[in-house]
Structure 1
Amino acid sequence: MMTRHCLVLGGARSGKTSFAERLALRAGSRPAYLATANMLDDEMRDRVRSHQAGRGERFTTIEEPVELSHMIIKAGATHDVILVDCLTLWITNLLIASEDVATAVSELCATLTEFKAAKVILVSNEVGLGIVPDNAMARTFRDLAGSAHQRLGEICDDVYFVAAGLPLTMKGDAPQMPS
Structure 2
Amino acid sequence: MKHLVLGGVRSGKSKFAESWVCSRSEQSLATVAYVATSQAWDDEMRARISSHQLSRPTDWLLFEAPLSLAAALKKVDDGGHCVIVECITLWLTNLLCLEDEERLAFEKQQLLSRLSDFKGDLVIVSGEVGLGIMPMNALARRFADEIGMFNQQLAQICQQVTLVSAGLPLFLKK
Matched ranges for 1:41-80 at <5 A: 41-77=42-78, 79-80=80-81
| Deviation by residue 1:62-94 (Cα, 9 ceiling, x = unmatched) | 111000001001022484211000101000000
Q: What code does the residue aligned with 2:125 have?
A: V
**Mean CA deviation greater in 58-67 or 82-91:** 58-67
**3-state SS of paired residue (1:73):** helix
Matched ranges for 1:1-179 at <5 A: 4-28=1-25, 29-77=30-78, 79-100=80-101, 101-116=104-119, 118-172=120-174
Tell me: CA distance 1:128–1:102, structure 2 relative to 1, closer, same or farther (3 Å): farther
Structure 1: how far apart are the matches of 2:63 and 2:126? Answer: 17
With the length of structure 2 as denominator, give the TM-score of the two structures.
0.91
Tell me: CA distance 1:92–1:79, structure 2 relative to 1, closer, same or farther (3 Å): farther
> Once the two structures are aligned, what percentage of the paired residues are identical?
43
Flag structure 2 segments of 5+ consecutive residues without an equivalent: none
The equivalent residue for 1:177 is none
Higher helix share: 2
Flag structure 1 segments of 5+ consecutive residues without an equivalent: 173-179
Structure 2: how far apart are the matches of 1:133 and 1:87? Answer: 19
**3-state SS of paired residue (2:44):** helix
Tell me how many residue pairs correspond in the alignment: 168
**3-state SS of paired residue (2:134):** coil
With the length of structure 1 as denominator, give the TM-score of the two structures.
0.89
| 4+ long deviations beyond 6 Å | none
